[in-house]
């Protein structure tokens, strides 16, 4: 199964919790994960928002790395 490129949204329900995941996945030409960014929202018995960044095992993420969304004017 091919991994979606760019932003996409997938929602499911587990027990009494609705889970929506807005995700952006970047892969290399060979299909290997380069970076995955997820905005996960849980609603129902549990209410929580999670921001998650995924990189391959062994990839060094240096201290002090920053995150900028748009131009920071919002």
DSSP-derived 3-state class of residue 11: strand
- Whether residue 5 is predicted with pLDDT greater than 80 in this model: the reply is no
Beta strands in the chain (DSSP E): 6-14, 17-27, 33-44, 48-54
- Whether residue 74 is predicted with pLDDT greater than 70 in this model: the reply is no
Structure confidence at residue 10 (pLDDT): 93
Structure confidence at residue 23 (pLDDT): 94
Contact 25, 10 (CB under 8 A): no
Average pLDDT, the chain: 86
Structure confidence at residue 1 (pLDDT): 63
- Distances in whole angstroms, Cα of residue 21 to Cα of each of 41, 65, 69: 6, 23, 18
Domain residue extents for the chain:
1-74
Tell me the pTM: 0.69
Q: For residue range 38-71, what is the model confidence (pLDDT) as tens digits?
A: 999 999 998 999 999 888 888 887 888 887 777 7
């Amino acid at each position: 199964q091919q991994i979606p490129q760019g932003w996409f949204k997938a929602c499911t329900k587990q027990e009494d919790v609705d889970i929506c995941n807005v995700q952006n996945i970047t892969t290399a030409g060979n299909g290997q994960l380069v970076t995955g960014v997820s905005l996960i929202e849980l609603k129902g018995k549990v209410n929580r928002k999670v921001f998650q960044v995924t990189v391959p095992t062994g990839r060094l993420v240096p201290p002090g790395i920053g995150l900028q969304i748009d131009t920071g004017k919002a």
